[in-house]
A and B are shown apart, each in its own frame.
Chain A
């Protein structure tokens, strides 16, 4: 991405509740497809962060974290869901000009036990 942006300093000041409410897309435990965003040298870091906030409703800090992951690691899984859900996200991301692909979640990366039945 194109790093021409100064970020606010207080991005970690978000409340727990806010984090919680914005992470449901990411933490769905037992659904097997990922939406991946890939790094490219053109998209502005600010724009990628804006898209994550406005489209997914992610908090500023979460959007920033995911954007930095794309920038530094070359890719980031920004949402999980059914195949249809992540494909719909991919269409939206392509509309914004982000380089998005979908992939089956690798079973090895899944947190063990998460998809199991709940007690209580």
Chain B
């Protein structure tokens, strides 16, 4: 079984079983491919170089839209313009964090620097946002319902399996953030 992340003399440490590392690697890779799939080989190399993407559209997939939300509530034009200027770099930033976290999964014992921890918490958060869309978590009552599923013997279909995976990543992220807050407190 995984051990909760904690803050101690070595910094932030955690422990994951091989099966848990495989699971997380799969989740990180899934979100990476979601974020990568419609980054086009940009036709205009200069635009790509400075991070512009004039052909960008609001994502049709709800999970991807949650990762890359509109920046204005009631202004689709303004939101689209913002996407053209920024979406590529947000995607690349997220992919970078997910890749870094996935690469850190090569051993049971995790020892995270402050930068590693931030990337890990971002990666876990993005995984949870995607899982939550797949599980149709719309409000706190839905979240509560999913949270009540803690028994792996209940994993009899895709949804209950996803719910258990969601709860595992939630637990892991919570323990990581608590360790990061403890590290902040120790420094101040």
Contact = CB atoms under 8 A, between A and B. Distances in A.
A100 B109 CA distance: 35
Contacts of A23: none
Interface string B112-129: 000000100110011011
B90 A94 contact: yes
B137 A4 contact: no
A2 B138 CA distance: 12
Interface in B92-123: 93-94, 97, 118, 121-122
Interface in B133-188: 137-140, 142-143, 147, 170, 173-174, 177-178, 180-181, 184-185
B174 A5 contact: yes
Interface string B48-82: 00000000000000000011111111000000001
A50 B173 contact: no
A53 B89 CA distance: 23
B86 interface: yes
A91 B139 contact: no
Contacts of A41: 132, 137-140, 142-143
A90 B85 CA distance: 13
A91 B82 CA distance: 10
Which of A3, A44, A99 gathers most chain B CB within 10 Å?
A: A44
A87 B125 contact: no
Interface residues of A, number: 27
A97 B67 contact: yes
Interface residues of B, number: 39
A101 B72 contact: yes
A82 interface: no
A42 to B, nearest CB: 4
A54 interface: yes
Contacts of B180: 50
A106 B177 CA distance: 34
B178 A46 contact: yes
Interface of A: 2-5, 41-44, 46-47, 49-50, 53-54, 60, 87, 90-91, 94-97, 99-103
16 contacts: A5-B178, A44-B170, A46-B174, A46-B177, A46-B181, A49-B181, A50-B181, A50-B184, A87-B82, A91-B90, A94-B90, A95-B90, A95-B97, A96-B122, A97-B129, A100-B71
